[in-house]
Amino acid sequence: MQLLFRKAITPLLVAASLTVAGCSGGGSESASNNVTPPVTDTSSITWTKGQFTPYAEIALQCKADQTGSELTEKLWLRSWSNDTYLWYDEIFDRDPAPYTVAQYFDLLITDELSETGNVKDKFHFSMPTDEWEQLNQSGASFGYGFNLSLRNASAGVKRQVTITYSEPNSPAVAAGINRGAIIVAVDGVNVANADDSASIDTLNAGLFPTQSGKQTTFTVRDLNASVDRNVILSATTVISTPVQNTQVIQTASGKIGYLQFNSHIATAERGLFDAITTLSEADVEDLVLDLRYNGGGLLALASQLGYMIAGDTATNNRIFERTSFNDKYRTIDPVTRAILEPTPFIPETIGFNTGLLRAGITLPSLNLKRLYVLTTADTCSASEALMNSLRGIDIEVIQIGGTTCGKPYGFYPTPNCGTTYFSIQFKGVNDKGFGDYSDGFVPTTSPTLDSEIKGCALSDDLNHALGDTNERLLSAALFYRDNNQCPALTSSAAKVSAAPTMMDKGFMLKDDRNSTLLKNNRIMSTGAM
Amino acid sequence: MSRLPSGLLIAVVMFSTAFMGCGTSTAVNDRAVPALITSPNSASVDELQAAIASLLNTDHVMIAQSAFTDTSVLSIEPAMHKDTNGRLLMGRSIVMPESVQLLIHGDTCLLEHAKSGQRKILQITTCRAE
């Protein structure tokens, strides 16, 4: 018992340690450099191949305020990476002299490939610290309340913007804009045909507003409609509903639960609690968990949901996830210095928002032996951890949809000299020790690799509402349950398509609002969101 | 079945203890009770955002106009920064969200940071007991 709760609070203790270190009182989850570095004569610091000054000793020695120089900033990055980067021994130790700070950071990364030949590290970022430290009400974002699928133009493919879902109580829903609607034009600029920078700017400004009250005229073709209509939407702060669409599907072979889980945010704890309670009381025999748009968030929520799916017996004394750092830190966290302990399946409420749900209540559970998961490339991070953790305790996961994003990694965002750096520092592994899914979880009828999961590779179906039993992925899950095989594909659109190979990046639609100055030289956008 | 309550309690205590001494403490009256906003408007949103930012020692906080209209407690999380593929930068977060609560004492509306107990008196925002 003691061991169990010690494991369970590890994430919380990590949080406490981090925040106390900075005494910022804020919600920033950054590691801190708020230690007073020893007074160092920066003019004497030089690069010597293979020799690394402890990064704490050269932190916060910045060119801007003349406490340091570009060289000290680069050497800090080099030492920090050498100490904490997951693949530190695969970084080529270059003389920083020819490079800017940003250029040098981009080089402090492995050049190795994954086992399947893809880029090994796809997650290497930096951004201004003041931008990173923005805090929001849980689920708050700025816009109209619709979420978009962006298909940028490429050879033989027209640009298209389609609504994937709309948030309840949002301007989009008030205007009747729902899943499957195509945005034909924005402020008079045709989406498919825009071919100059000014037009693309108009599209991006309308789709991704930055000013409250900004009014934009959208020409919309609703799903199954034969004519367009114009709608004027006013941008505002929208609060997302992370758990939606809970329903019990009655089939000839039994009752099946369906649940749309879009984001691991604080308010989802109450949503998941209520949803699983509903499905438990309905005595469902299976669950179809729709994670197709869930990019992750609070890992503890994934652990709680794992408990709620598998139940007490299956999860007791089992590990949800174990965190693994580089081989310099086999037993302690290099940032917090806490002893590494595995995260269990959390069986109680944590009380992320005590106004919605207090802490310490036993979670409901479905006690299932298998789970159907609906996925796309937007299924990422904590969502993948949930899938992996359940497989780790022998819950059968059946995957319907697209390959997931492939992010078993995490980092402590670390600020230095006004920039916050994100460099992969740890990997999560399940109870069986597996965490190598950097190319994503791949649904297939005949799995051979551990990252391949039995199921059906299908593309998202924007022509049906989420939760509609005729929607391609949900329909396939129900079919698979009855027939133990995937449905026959009836159209090429149902197949998961490869990313376009050629795209004019000057004419791309993209939401840059939260990544205005984000540096990310490793990822080239595929145009899909 | 209860595997966690003692541990969670310890964690909460640790958080509370950890934050004592961070920033200045406002004198408080313990008879303040949870409250909801009565007339949310852009001015009250601006005031609440500024108060939350001050309590959390940050520059930028965004809340909706509907904040504190249904519940007195608001959870605050890091903005969901995304990469150029539209995917979350921090998709596996191990940090507890912050929490602030709207309170009322007499005719005065207050905002309280759950961890530190620090409070800010609100001048524009109007509220009533929850």
Contact A58, A88 (CB under 8 A): no
Q: Is the pLDDT of residue B10 over 90?
A: no
Structure tokens at A266: 């604080």
Who among A13, A138, A514 is closest to B11 (CB)? A13
Q: What is the mean pLDDT of chain A?
A: 86
Backbone angles phi, psi at A298, to 5 degrees: -70, 115
Beta-ladder partners of B88: B82
Dihedral angle of Cα B87, B90, B94, B95, to the nearest 10 degrees: -120
Q: What is the pLDDT of residue A311?
A: 98
pLDDT band, very low/low/confident/very high, at A492 (cuts 50, 70, 90): low
Beta-ladder partners of A370: A396
Q: Residues B63-100: pLDDT tens digits?
A: 999 999 999 999 999 988 887 777 888 898 888 899 99
Distance CA A462, CA B94 (A): 33
Share of chain A above pLDDT 70, in %: 84
Range name among A18-32, A186-200, B10-24, B43-57 with the lowest pLDDT average: B10-24
Q: Which residues in chain B are closer than 8 Å to A407, comparing Cβ atoms? A: 87, 91-92
Structure tokens at A182: 């195509």
| C-alpha distance across the termini of chain A, in Å | 44
Structure tokens at A509: 């639609």
CB contact under 8 A, B83 and A24: no
Q: What is the pLDDT of residue A29?
A: 54
Q: Which residues in chain A are closer than 8 Å to B20, comparing Cβ atoms? A: none
Q: What is the pLDDT of residue A515?
A: 46
Q: Residues A51-68: pLDDT tens digits?
A: 999 999 999 999 998 898
Collapsing DSSP states into helix, strand and coil, what is residue A131? helix
Q: From the DSSP assignment, how many helices (H) and strands (E) are in chain A?
A: 11, 24
pLDDT band, very low/low/confident/very high, at B30 (cuts 50, 70, 90): low
Structure tokens at A36: 């007073």
Interface test with B, best of A5, A318, A414 (most B CBs within 10 A): A5
Q: What is the pLDDT of residue A155?
A: 80
Closest residue in A to B68 (Cα–Cα)? A355
Q: Is the pLDDT of residue A152 over 60?
A: yes
Could you list the beta-strand ranges (E) of A192-339: 215-221, 229-234, 236-239, 243-251, 254-261, 286-290, 297-298, 319-324
Q: Is the pLDDT of residue B112 over 90?
A: yes
Structural Rg of chain A based on CA atoms = 24
Q: Which residues in chain A are closer than 8 Å to B64, comparing Cβ atoms? A: 137, 140, 236-239
pLDDT band, very low/low/confident/very high, at A157 (cuts 50, 70, 90): confident
Q: How far is A157 from chain B (nearest CA, A)?
A: 19
Q: What is the pLDDT of residue A519?
A: 34
CB contact under 8 A, A1 and B3: yes
Q: Residues A428-487: pLDDT tens digits?
A: 999 999 999 999 999 999 999 999 999 999 999 999 999 999 999 999 999 999 999 999
- ipTM for the predicted complex comes to 0.81
Q: How far is B30 from chain A (nearest CA, A)?
A: 19
CB contact under 8 A, A353 and B73: yes
Q: What DSSP designation does A109 have? A: S
Q: Residues A32-52: pLDDT tens digits?
A: 654 455 555 566 788 999 999
Q: Which residues in chain B are closer than 8 Å to A296, comparing Cβ atoms? A: 88, 90-93
Who among A1, A12, A410 is closest to B11 (CB)? A12
Q: Is the pLDDT of residue A361 over 80?
A: yes
pLDDT band, very low/low/confident/very high, at A115 (cuts 50, 70, 90): confident
Q: What is the pLDDT of residue A251?
A: 95
Of residues A407 and B29, more confidently modeled: A407
Q: What is the pLDDT of residue A516?
A: 35
Q: What angle do CA A299, A302, A308 make, to 5 degrees?
A: 150
Who among A6, A263, A515 is closest to B83 (CB)? A515
Q: Which residues, 6+ apart, have CB-to-CB distance to B37 below 8 Å?
A: B44, B67, B68, B69, B102, B125, B126, B127
Q: Which residues in chain B are closer than 8 Å to A3, comparing Cβ atoms? A: none
Of residues B11 and A95, more confidently modeled: A95
Closest residue in B to A315 (Cα–Cα)? B3
Q: What is the pLDDT of residue B29?
A: 53
Q: Is the pLDDT of residue A178 over 70?
A: yes
Who among A26, A142, A413 is closest to B57 (CB)? A26
Q: How far is B107 from chain A (nearest CA, A)?
A: 22
Q: What is the pLDDT of residue A497?
A: 58
Collapsing DSSP states into helix, strand and coil, what is residue A246? strand
Share of chain A above pLDDT 90, in %: 74
Q: What is the pLDDT of residue A491?
A: 59
Residue type present at position A229: R
Q: Which residues in chain B are closer than 8 Å to A362, comparing Cβ atoms? A: 1-2
Q: What is the pLDDT of residue A219?
A: 98
DSSP string spanning chain B?
Answer: --SSHHHHHHHHHHHHHHHTTSS------TT-EEEEESS--HHHHHHHHHHHHHHTT-S-EE--TTTTSS-SEEEEEE---B-TTS-BS-SEE-SPPEEEEEEEETTEEEEEETTT--EEEESS--EEE-
Q: What is the pLDDT of residue A153?
A: 82
Who among A267, A381, A525 is closest to B75 (CB)? A267
CB contact under 8 A, B19 and A25: yes
Look-up of token digits 């959870």: B75
Look-up of token digits 């398509």: A497
Q: A278 burial class (0-12, 13-18, 19+ CB within 10 angstroms)?
A: middle
Of A131, A295, A113, the residue nearest B89 (C-alpha): A295
pLDDT band, very low/low/confident/very high, at A93 (cuts 50, 70, 90): very high
**C-alpha A345 chain-centroid distance:** 20
Tell me how crowded residue A69 is: count the other CB atoms within 10 A of its CB.
Answer: 15
Q: Residues A394-424: pLDDT tens digits?
A: 999 999 999 999 999 998 999 999 999 999 9
Q: Which residues in chain A are closer than 8 Å to B116, comparing Cβ atoms? A: 25
Q: Is the pLDDT of residue B19 over 70?
A: no
The mean pLDDT of A321-327, rounded to a whole number, is: 94
Domains and CATH numbers, chain A: 140-239 (2.30.42.10), 243-327+344-410+429-494 (3.90.226.10)
Distance CA A396, CA A453 (A): 9
CB contact under 8 A, A26 and B72: no
The mean pLDDT of A175-193, rounded to a whole number, is: 96
Distance CA B103, CA A300 (A): 29
